[in-house]
Chains A and B, each alone.
Chain A
């Protein structure tokens, strides 16, 4: 372990040489930063992992069932489990997806589920990311480099091998593709914050890295024309471009990042799009509240993993509770993403608190409130000293691989992205706000 800790600088140097970076836009200027790696791994016990794995599979199955239902029969609305306005008023709801059947009914192929471990050892779900969750490449490459720098570590410690992520991805892409054509990873380009990841995953899965303009649609079939201008049919697109920019003929007309008329090909079922269209309706911060109810509704099971205690001002009881207890709650703006719309009541001046209360009174649907969870802190190295910092875990769940009974397999990657906050007083671990990451060790015993 000691050699591993000492290896921090060499791992960071290697990562810099490999170009492991993420980009941040600040005031309209693109800057690339390295994502600082902390060499003390987070360990997850075998017992905890078994519980997490079962809970994550259950949750993602329910979320995929919800997406199918919302864009088809809408039974969960008819049965009064989820109120209609939470669905149709959600920014993530895409009416264009009504009655469209994605390959094998899978919407969220790659789900990034964010969790935290409380001081009492209980795990809580913070949010579901079902659109284009990023971050898997960082722990993958960090592990690869750590194995070089400190080869004995993984012999001495019984850590689950995490190098299989690309195989899990490839198996899913191949299965969704169904032999119709090549697999591609569509990147918005060099100046995207996760470009390193796009190129790394393309290399690892053997998919073609496609840039905007490399694909075209003819007779409802998608073709890759990138390298030699020779048309090659595409069977599955792992896209890292968001829904609204994916097809300028169907959505945002000014987009140059997408593939014109791709959505029509998707509707006709000639290509798998990974992740599917319209997933934002299920990872909306307002819909989060209902996910445990979805587990019961679709799977008839008790949820294994719990949400952080959450209140919706939409419900009278919760509304009263929030207004009375606002100073001890976290308030989240459901219309924003990326960690900027999260406010801790205790950090606000009395005037600001009143202001926030008024906003909640005016637009109750726009907000959710949560109890502040007392996270278990993790040790990190700050210079040469060990200090404690808040951290979360993004688990990656892959849906749609081959299985014996033909239903889409759901697999949890035995690792994950552990992010920590740089600032000792901050609970926000979002990497766009300056934190770093650790390797995540899932123990075999």
Chain B
């Protein structure tokens, strides 16, 4: 069990003011049997804006809103304090959609060399290692809509692609699998991994690191593949160039509340 202070900060700048800006964010960790959210907040720091909240069908918390007036920046901060355990999420009957190919995580016969046999948990872990072995981690080598097959064909990608390939392999073997987006201990960007379902529980596997997930992984969004849980979606009116910076900070703290670093 670990306790973290986390923050996700995003700043977007536009070369000229934009209007009619709608957005939808998935930047709040799950509050469930594995993670306990002690404090959390989402704030639009670039200007006044009314926010709505809800939960999407996959269980991710969403925060969304609309800014009508012209603005040349859009920044927000999601932060809080969270307890993470090494447990597994329980579910009796996962949706059958986690067994079906999805657009970015569809199996292709050319991936057959990565298939492994065994129990669900065991074969999924071995396939994760096979993905890590086969694929080179190359930042910016793929985009948000790259499919499992495209990444596999070029033998390189990022955590999103590693996860899509593992999901495709698991589903092909009849193992329900879903995509998870979240934070990892330390400082950097968002991370992505996979949860596979076996005997009533979801088991986190990180194919990029080639290991089981533990209490250093904070889940914030999930779905069939990355398209179901982007951290930020937005649409505005304006012909502009946009620059975006995001920083994730996840620092462990002692139970007395003092920073561990």
Residues of chain A whose beta carbon lies under 8 Å from any beta carbon of chain B: 84-85, 88-89, 95-99, 213, 216-220, 248-250, 253, 256, 260-261, 264, 267-268
Closest to A221 in B: B52
Q: Which of B53-77 contact A (CB under 8 A)?
A: 54, 56-57, 62, 64-66, 68
Given contacts A217-B22, A217-B66, A261-B64, contact A84 B96 (CB under 8 A): yes
Closest to A252 in B: B227
Total A-B residue pairs with C-beta atoms closer than 8 Å? Answer: 61
Residues on the B chain within 8 Å of A267, using CB: 54
B64 touches A264 (CB 8 A): yes
Q: What sequence of 0s and 1s flags, for each residue 92-122 of chain B, a beta carbon within 8 Å of any chain A beta carbon?
A: 0001110010000000000000000000000
Closest to A255 in B: B235
Counting chain B residues whose Cβ lies within 8 A of the other chain, the interface size class is 20 to 34
A219 touches B52 (CB 8 A): yes
Closest 5 CB pairs of A and B: A260-B22, A249-B24, A88-B96, A96-B57, A261-B64
Residue of B20, B50, B96, B233 near A219 (CB, 8 A) is B50
Complexed CA–CA distance, A213 and B68 (Å):
12
Given contacts A89-B100, A96-B57, A260-B66, contact A220 B52 (CB under 8 A): yes
B97 touches A249 (CB 8 A): no
Complexed CA–CA distance, A261 and B57 (Å):
14
A248 touches B235 (CB 8 A): yes
B64 touches A249 (CB 8 A): yes
Closest to B96 in A: A88
Given contacts A249-B22, A260-B22, contact A95 B66 (CB under 8 A): no
Closest to B227 in A: A253
Complexed CA–CA distance, A250 and B22 (Å):
12
A88 touches B66 (CB 8 A): no
Closest to B49 in A: A218
Given contacts A249-B22, A249-B24, A253-B233, contact A218 B50 (CB under 8 A): yes
Complexed CA–CA distance, A248 and B95 (Å):
24
B95 touches A95 (CB 8 A): yes
A260 touches B50 (CB 8 A): no
A249 touches B233 (CB 8 A): yes
Complexed CA–CA distance, A249 and B233 (Å):
6
17 inter-chain pairs at a CB distance below 8 angstroms, sorted by A residue, are: A85-B96, A88-B97, A89-B100, A95-B57, A95-B95, A95-B97, A96-B56, A99-B57, A220-B52, A248-B22, A249-B64, A253-B233, A260-B66, A261-B52, A264-B52, A264-B64, A268-B54
